[in-house]
Amino acid sequence: MYEDYLSKSLACIIMAKQALHNYKTVKIKDMKNIAAYNMQQSIEYIIKYKIYNCGKYTKNSQIYDHNIDRMIKKYCVPYGIDVPVKIRKNANIYTLWEAESRYDSDFSVRIDTLYATIRVVEEWLMEIRPYYNKKLNQVNKKLGNIDVT
């Protein structure tokens, strides 16, 4: 159920990597903002996938919330859904990326923060769907093996 949320999460990771690859060439800060937005979306998709598939979410409706911290507190904690420590710790920051990266002209995320976020979200997604690793390796090869460490 909601398997497409995981492929959407994967697509967001790929878009973030492409944006950072382009940032290295053009040095336009909005490329980092595009990466930040996509990483917030990637996290949101995984959380919603895990909520909908945990067996404890019984509503017949989708969650229309983008606040990662609120979703973790409202659903993940009571339902016993494991969320990586880094994502729990920085949930409010990632939530800000959803709108700030698109609308605040002064907004900018440090590139090392983006790489660290990509690494954590990739690892989380690989735990859920290990076969996505092949797709990510293909992308890394095309983009020159972007190092997210």
Query: Mean pLDDT over all residues of the chain?
Result: 92
Residue 149: predicted pLDDT: 46
Tell me if 148 is assigned to some domain: no
User: What's the pTM value of the predicted model, to 2 decimals?
Assistant: 0.92
For residues 27-40, average pLDDT: 95
Residue 60 pLDDT more than 90?
A: no
Q: What is the DSSP string of 82-121?
A: ---HHHHHTHHHHHHHHHHHHH-TT----HHHHHHHHHHH
CATH number for the domain harbouring residue 132: 1.20.120.330
Q: State the pLDDT confidence band at 147, using cuts at 50, 70 and 90.
A: low
**Residue 18, pLDDT score:** 94
**Nearest alpha-carbon partner for 11 in 148, 149, 132, 144:** 132
Query: What is the Rg, in whole angstroms, of the alpha carbon atoms belonging to the chain?
Result: 15
pLDDT at 61: 82
Q: Is 62 exposed, middle or buried (0-12, 13-18, 19+ CB in 10 A)?
A: exposed
Number of domains in the chain: 1
Classify the phi-psi angles of 62: left when phi > 0, otherwise alpha if psi is within -120 to 50, otherwise beta.
Answer: beta
> What pLDDT is stored for residue 146 in this prediction?
59
Q: Is residue 24 part of a domain?
A: yes
CB 41 within 8 A of CB 95: no
Residue 51 within any structural domain of the chain:
yes
Domain encompassing residue 119: 3-142
Q: Is residue 12 in a domain? A: yes
